Amino acid sequence: MAKLYFNYSSMNAGKSTVLLQASYNYVERGMNTLLLIAAIDDRAGKGRIASRIGLASGADIFSSRDDLFQHTQNTINCKPIHAVFVDEAQFLTKDQAWQLARVADELKIPVMCFGLRTDFQGNLFPGSAALLAIADNLKEIKTICWCGRKATMVARLDARGQFAEEGDQVVIGGNDTYVSLCRHHWSKRQLRPEAGAASTAAKTGMREKEMAK
C-alpha cells in the first residue's frame, strides 16, 4: 500500500543525500521517480536538488500555487511514476500536503517528503505541521550539535554572525546562515563552545550516545 512519508531534521543532516540515494535505488531498478523541489530554494540552481557531498539531480519546481496532485497526474499521463520525492517539504502549503496524500491514496504512488521541522524561532513550518499531522510514516534524520548531542533546533545567524532573534520565517541559506543546535544550547543562544570547553562537550556527547545504544 502506498504511503505518505515525512523525513524531517534540522539543517545539514543529509536530507537531500538520503532523498537522492533513495531515488537512485528506484531508477537503478528500471523505475521512474518524480522529484519536486520548492521554487524558492535555488541554491543549487533552479529546478535542481543537490547534496553537500556532491550528489545532484534535476527536479520539477513547485510554488504555493501549484496543485501537486494534478502535476503528478499530468506526469503519469506521459510516463509511469513509481515514487514521488519532495525536497524542502517545509515550504509546502497545507493544501499541498493533502494533495500529496491523495497521490498516495488515489494514485497508489508512495510519496517521500524531506524537510525541516521547525524554523529558527522554534516554530513549525506550515508544510511540516501538516505533514506531521497526516503522514503515514514519520522519521527523524539525525545530526549533532557542536556539543555532540542530537541537534533538533536551527539557529539563524545575523550579519554579525550572532544568534538572530527575529526576521522572516523563510530566508534561504546554508552553513553561513544557519547552525544546527541541541535544544539546550539553542535555548542558551550558544552557537559554539566557550574557550576550553570543546573537548569536554564532545566527550559528554559521546558518552550520551554510547548510553543510548
CATH number at residue 31: 3.40.50.300
Based on the fold, state whether residues 73 and 131 are members of the same structural domain.
Answer: yes
Cα distance between residue 50 and residue 58, in whole Å: 9
Number of domains in the chain: 2
User: Which of 84, 113, 141 delimits the end of a domain?
Assistant: 141
Is residue 110 within 8 Å of 78, Cβ to Cβ? Answer: no
pLDDT at 104: 97
The Cα 66–Cα 122 span in angstroms is 27
Amino acid identity at 41: D
- Whether the CA torsion 73, 77, 78, 84 is positive or negative: it is positive
Question: Which residue among 98, 118, 141 closes a domain?
Answer: 141
pLDDT of residue 197: 47
pLDDT per position as a tens digit, 149-172 = 988 888 888 877 777 777 666 665
Q: Are residues 58 and 73 in the same domain?
A: yes
Domain end among 141, 160, 187: 141
**CB contact at 8 A, 62 and 97:** no
Looking at the fold, whether 125 and 83 belong to one and the same domain comes out as yes
Strands 48-50 and 56-58: antiparallel
Q: What is the pLDDT of residues 20-57, one digit of tens each?
A: 999 999 999 999 999 999 888 766 667 788 777 777 78
- Verify that 96 and 161 share a domain, yes or no: no
Positions annotated as catalytic residues are 88
Provide the residue range defining the domain that includes 48: 1-141
Q: In the chain, which residues have pLDDT < 50?
A: 196-204, 211-212
Tell me: do 28 and 127 sit in the same domain: yes
Q: What is the CATH number of the domain that holds 188?
A: 3.30.60
Give the integer Cα–Cα distance in Å for 138 and 161. Answer: 33
Query: Per-residue DSSP letters for 41-101?
Result: --TT-TTEEE-TTS-EEE-EEE-TT--HHHHHHHHHTTS---EEEEESGGG--HHHHHHHH
